Structure 1
């Protein structure tokens, strides 16, 4: 088999494998969205959940989009440079980024803080425009800098989430405070004892009743009883605090999605992408079979 046929075969196998992987992934994500019932923040069970709500501003938090300078709650941007060589031309990515500030979702029954890191964020607000500056908000160039940058073209894109916009969120949910956590007495007791051992001199001062510089079995029993009482008191105080809800990236292979569109629209989009992956897989398989037949391997 010559080099051309080997390269073609490698591309065909890659298309088959990649198409199959993409199809199965998008089908799995669509099923997760449709099979997960919508929950209310106030009564949601701990674990993998989905919410519908509205984005709210947080106190003492001011976020400004980097390319437009517009206030928002979350942003993502891309800066590309136009490159041409002969008859070929393309846009080359020169800079990109996204914000990592937490979002506040309100569904009428409660509020939930969302860590967007690792999420598929799909906002509806998107702006695309072009210019001749490396950064659209950068200072105008003059002198030699202007001469060297003459003729350069850039394409900018910026996506944003704003306060008051609807948001669909699916991910790992957890709550603290509000009496929602049970007490693991053994683990909590061990944690308190571990903290006390960090100041062993203080531990001896409190529990070494005979002053011999060590703790015997009876004195250790007193330590364990005092640590249990301390752990129970800490848990009681923590339970009296208002409940705080958080969502973040699931630990398992489950989708983490934040979207301005609802689950039905997202599922349709994923099904179309899965169909595209299936077509690519089929085309790659047919090409692979044809190349193997031509080369008689």
Structure 2
């Protein structure tokens, strides 16, 4: 969900109040109870996001450790053909676009939504991080909407050079693997071979007796050692790159043009706004609707 759309989460409260004022057929406690439950749920949601942003220190690309972290710099495109928004043709590193009918057509049509998942770079003073935006909650700095015949077009995008904040899971790919990685990969390779006993015998049972002697097993270990060594030399030839992506454990994945401090303040305001609305609904409920 886009971060801009989170402000729309406050709209149900005046709607519930309007329904309670106009409808006498509903149970008097139903709407305030729904408002209190909705407010508490959204308070927990946004407060959790706020705490993740506020409690995660900002790191640089060179000092970034593996795992959950946040980075702040500016947006830059990867090498290759430029990315542009689908309707307005604005050059960018990320976009979200929508085409929807304006409601005056005789034949109803569905809306069309487009969102780019192309990776882009976050540049800071020490280097770069590759951001893979799929699954992120994005707040874009630029947005525009206009009429095109019977359609309403809208676009949001992150432009090259925009300030860029990203909170997510950092993984480093490429570079020279360490000794522990070599030992782990060697064991994984041998375990994989053991799951195919027929193939293992076919490759290393030199005397054909249907079993591997200690000498034949040592040959298998040497072959696995050589295979892992070739793979690691190929990895070492790839420049080390840091990739920020959606966490596997459902922690927030946020991309924004705001600074870390502004992002935290925005989420904190949203959290306590919902808490205040939940309190008002609870007081309304306590007074009997």
- Contact 1:53–1:167 (Cα < 8 Å) also in 2: yes
Q: Which runs of 5+ in 1 are unaligned?
A: 85-91, 135-154, 293-297
Counterpart position of 1:75: 95
- Contact 1:188–1:228 (Cα < 8 Å) also in 2: no
2:59 pairs with one of 16, 39, 49? 39
Give the alignment of 1:9-158 within 5 angstroms.
9-83=29-103, 94-134=111-151, 155-158=152-155
Distance 1:4 1:187 in 2: 67
Q: Does 1:224 align with 2:224?
A: no
Residues 189-238 of structure 1 show CA distances to partners (whole Å, capped at 9, x for unaligned) of 24323665798777545422213354345423431343235324533542
Residues 22-44 of structure 1 show CA distances to partners (whole Å, capped at 9, x for unaligned) of 12222222222222111111121
The TM-score, its normalising length taken from structure 1, stands at 0.76
Q: Does 1:264 align with 2:261?
A: yes
Distance 2:64 2:149 in 1: 50
Per the TM alignment, residue 97 of structure 1 is displaced from its structure 2 partner at its CA by 2.5
Per the TM alignment, residue 163 of structure 1 is displaced from its structure 2 partner at its CA by 1.5
CA RMSD of aligned residues (A): 2.9
Residues 40-94 of structure 1 show CA distances to partners (whole Å, capped at 9, x for unaligned) of 111211111111122222222332211212222211123343448xxxxxxx982
Count of matched residue pairs: 262
Per the TM alignment, residue 126 of structure 1 is displaced from its structure 2 partner at its CA by 0.7
Q: Does 1:193 align with 2:186?
A: no
Counterpart position of 2:25: 4
Counterpart position of 2:14: none
Distance 2:203 2:149 in 1: 72
The TM-score, its normalising length taken from structure 2, stands at 0.78
Q: Which runs of 5+ in 2 are unaligned?
A: 1-23
Per the TM alignment, residue 14 of structure 1 is displaced from its structure 2 partner at its CA by 2.1
User: Are residues 37 and 100 of structure 1, via their aligned partners in 2, closer, same or farther at CA, if it must alter by over 3 Å?
Assistant: same
- Contact 1:181–1:239 (Cα < 8 Å) also in 2: no
User: Are residues 182 and 173 of structure 1, via their aligned partners in 2, closer, same or farther at CA, if it must alter by over 3 Å?
Assistant: farther
Distance 1:15 1:93 in 2: 31
Per the TM alignment, residue 243 of structure 1 is displaced from its structure 2 partner at its CA by 0.4
- Contact 2:142–2:158 (Cα < 8 Å) also in 1: yes
- Contact 2:164–2:258 (Cα < 8 Å) also in 1: yes
- For the pair shown, the structure with the greater C-alpha radius of gyration is 1
